[in-house]
Amino acid sequence: MTENTKNTSIWDAGGFGDEDLTELALQENAILNVRKLVGEISEMKGRPLTACVRSFGCQMNARDSEKLSGVLLRCGYLLTDDEDADLVIFNTCTVRDTANTRVYGRLGQIHHFKKSRKDMIVCICGCMPQAEGAAEEIHRRFPFIDIIFGTHNLFRFATLLYEKLSGGGAGKNGTVIEIWKDTQQIVEGLPVRREYPWKSGVNISFGCNNFCTYCIVPYVRGRERSRSPREIIHEIERLSEDGVIEIMLLGQNVNSYGNDIPGGMRFPELLARAAEVPGIERVRFMTSHPKDLSDELIDVMAGSPKIADHLHLPVQSGSSRVLHVMNRRYTKEDYLALVERIRAKMPDISLTTDIIVGFPGETESDFLETLDLVRRVRYDSAFTFLYSVRSGTLAADMPDQIPHEIAQERFDRLLTEVQQIANETIARHVGKTMTALAESTDPKEPGMLSGRLGNNIMIHFPGPADRIGTMVPVRILKQHGFYYTGEIAE
């Protein structure tokens, strides 16, 4: 991505949120105030100020980062990929301990930059500081961080930045710290700077009500709040007018979309409407909780060629006993029956999943149930995770935490199985012609393009760079593990 494209595409998402007009006006005002200060500082320095936004989490975290980038652009910063910038913001994840460790590692490097640039502004936000007690700990361990905020008040970034630039916060070293316990608010209309001109995530709901016993997301993202269908469709229309051809509808559990709006639209209808927006050529969505996936959704997917032929359906475990303790509210048999219903209507659909290994109390026979499920479903790919203790969740205090060596050994066995099956199953598409969204050139192989098929698998093929950002019919010639090579089929 060139400096130029990074800094040109900016626009406002939504715009109907009358109830939040005051908040939007407040933030627009804060943006103007910051812009004035940024102008003064850059005049003094004789150069524009730069800002770097780093995402550490899921698609929803990435979408939040696009909002932070939008605000920074409006504030007069030049966006850069270089962390040695005038302002750096880490938008963090805390779903597993490894997510925290990655951020801590980067903060060491940032501290080094800050030592030689006293006026550098370092911000940390998102899920990690939102966890109970985490903001205080971050402030204690990394006192050089200037602004710490969570997920619920992300829309107040401009206000917090103004507070810092105009004299500092109340915390030690002038750190601005603001963590909200919860929120009901959805602020529409803030600026967004998209990472890609041709594709975009679209939030449909925030938060999660499921409280799977291992998971910290409900604690750091709050209760489920659905955006109004009008806002969502309006945003997709705006995106389409702006050149976007592929969208991904985002929610922790898209299948419970609208449950919090009595009499409101449900996900199958929303999905169908999204696919009807003129100019949108492909619609994806994430994530589907199996317990809420309706037959109506299967029908909508099967009936629309624009809805991607892919379903990410996290199973987490193949043992009904473990699933019960995880509070997933389905059994192995329910899940397998659901897969059957899906495949009856869409025989060629690409199914992918998430699996956790080493959940407290998981026995060898529970694990064998997971292996058995994987062999029966035959996923196109699966994300496998070692269970990670998240403080505050119910599973953290469960007896029989599994020793690391045992969990790791099961993990390795599962990974081998998952990879072997994926290798075999995705071979079924070799020889077919499918549509890829061309997304990049290969710097190592001039003349080669990389794109993603509807089933989410990557394909590399020779083609001109001006096809990037467009749907290209491709013939799949060869499979190389988890990706294909092919040629344009025109």
Instruction: Look up residue 362 and give its two tokens.
Output: 């998981």
Name the residue whose CB lies closest to ligand SAH.
354
Q: What angle do the packed helices 59-74 and 21-45 form, to 10 degrees?
A: 60
CA angle 422, 425, 431 (to 5 degrees): 125
Q: What angle do the packed helices 157-165 and 21-45 form, to 10 degrees?
A: 40
- CA-CA distances (angstroms) from residue 348 to 137, 302, 375? 49, 11, 17
What is the H or E stretch that residue 420 is in?
Answer: helix 404-425
211, interface contact from ligand SAH, ligand SF4, ligand F3S, none, CB < 5-8 Å by kind: ligand SF4
Which of 232, 64, 32 is CA-nearest to residue 152? 64
94, interface contact from ligand F3S, ligand SF4, ligand SAH, none, CB < 5-8 Å by kind: ligand F3S
* Secondary structure of residue 350 in the 3-state scheme: strand
Q: Which stretch binds ligand F3S (CB under 6 A): 22-30, 88-96, 107-115, 456-464?
A: 88-96
Residues between 306 and 345 that touch ligand SAH (CB under 6 A):
314, 316
Residue 330 C-beta: closest distance to ligand SF4, Å: 12
Q: Quick one: which of 31, 95, 158, 426 contacts ligand F3S (CB under 6 A)?
A: 95
In the complex with ligand SAH, the residue whose CB is nearer, 59 or 470, is 59
CA angle 227, 31, 238 (to 5 degrees): 40
In the complex with ligand SAH, the residue whose CB is nearer, 60 or 68, is 60
Residue 53 C-beta: closest distance to ligand F3S, Å: 14
Q: Is 361 in the site for ligand SAH (CB under 6 A)?
A: no
* Secondary structure of residue 455 in the 3-state scheme: coil
How does 288-303 read in b/e, with b if 16+ C-beta sit within 10 Å? bbbebbeeebbebbbe
159, interface contact from ligand F3S, ligand SF4, ligand SAH, none, CB < 5-8 Å by kind: none
Which of 219, 220, 224 is CA-nearest to residue 208? 224
Say which residue the tokens 């990410």 belong to.
312
Residues between 100 and 139 that touch ligand F3S (CB under 6 A):
127
218, interface contact from ligand SAH, ligand SF4, ligand F3S, none, CB < 5-8 Å by kind: ligand SF4
127, interface contact from ligand SAH, ligand SF4, ligand F3S, none, CB < 5-8 Å by kind: ligand F3S
- Backbone φ and ψ for 124, nearest 5 degrees, come out as -130, 135
In the complex with ligand F3S, the residue whose CB is nearer, 57 or 469, is 57
DSSP string, 230-251: HHHHHHHHHHHHTT--EEEEE-
Which of 424, 404, 426, 403 is CA-nearest to residue 476? 426
Q: Which stretch binds ligand F3S (CB under 6 A): 36-44, 91-99, 172-180, 279-287?
A: 91-99
Q: Is 221 in the site for ligand SAH (CB under 6 A)?
A: no
Q: What angle do the packed helices 332-345 and 295-303 form, to 10 degrees?
A: 30
In the complex with ligand F3S, the residue whose CB is nearer, 221 or 452, is 221
Q: From residue 384 to residue 423, what is the string marking binding to ligand SAH with x (rule CB under 6 A)?
A: -x-xx-x---------------------------------
* Secondary structure of residue 82 in the 3-state scheme: coil
Q: Is 354 in the site for ligand SAH (CB under 6 A)?
A: yes
Residues between 49 and 78 that touch ligand F3S (CB under 6 A):
57-58, 60-61
Residues between 225 and 254 that touch ligand SF4 (CB under 6 A):
252-253
Going by the DSSP 8-state scheme, the letter that residue 133 receives in this structure is T
Residue 315 C-beta: closest distance to ligand SAH, Å: 9
Residues between 227 and 286 that touch ligand F3S (CB under 6 A):
none
Which of 171, 182, 192, 272 is CA-nearest to residue 229? 272
d(CA 143, CA 136): 10
d(CA 483, CA 427): 10
Q: Which stretch binds ligand SAH (CB under 6 A): 61-69, 299-307, 380-388, 424-432?
A: 380-388
Q: Quick one: which of 139, 284, 289, 452 contacts ligand SF4 (CB under 6 A)?
A: 289
Instruction: Look up residue 451 and give its two tokens.
Output: 């794109």
Residues that bind ligand F3S (CB under 6 A): 57-58, 60-61, 93-95, 127, 217, 220-221
Chain residues that interact with ligand SAH, rule: CB under 6 A: 95-96, 214-215, 217, 252-253, 287, 289, 314, 316, 354, 356, 385, 387-388, 390
